[in-house]
Amino acid sequence: MKLVLFLAAVAAGAWFYFGPLPTPGQGPNAAAGMRAGNAIVQTMEGYRSARGVYPMSLEEMVPEYLGGLPRLSNGSSFEYQRLGATFKLTFNYTNPLPVHCSYEPATKWECSWF
């Protein structure tokens, strides 16, 4: 019983001190990642319009379409996969727990806890 009360007190203290966790995909880190990701998506659409397909990798668009490989302000990079006629672009950030965000043309941005 004492252990349960202790754990409840710790949880209540953490909630009071840290507040509720932001929803994945919300907040400044998510917004910055999505802004940078949207710029990459627009560049990939230009690449596809010119060549008829999405690139096999982000590196394939450097330097003609991208000045360099994009990185987030936290130092992490975007990951890209071409999936046949479509693609998937992802990035990660902390909120304060790790969050994974992915973009596919059919679903747009979706974010979730790791």
Measure the CA–CA gap between 95 and 90, rounded to whole angstroms: 16
Measure the CA–CA gap between 64 and 90, rounded to whole angstroms: 22
Domains identified in the chain, total number: 1
Residue range of the domain that includes 57: 23-113
In a domain, 3, yes or no: no
Q: Using one digit for the tens of pLDDT, what is the confidence trace for 9-29?
A: 665 555 566 667 788 999 999
In a domain, 9, yes or no: no
Q: Tokens 């319009």 sit at which residue?
A: 49
pTM: 0.80
In a domain, 35, yes or no: yes
Q: Using one digit for the tens of pLDDT, what is the confidence trace for 61-103?
A: 999 999 999 888 888 899 999 999 999 999 999 888 899 999 9
In a domain, 68, yes or no: yes
In a domain, 66, yes or no: yes
- Cβ-in-10-Å burial (0-12, 13-18, 19+) of 88 comes to middle
Measure the CA–CA gap between 70 and 89, rounded to whole angstroms: 12
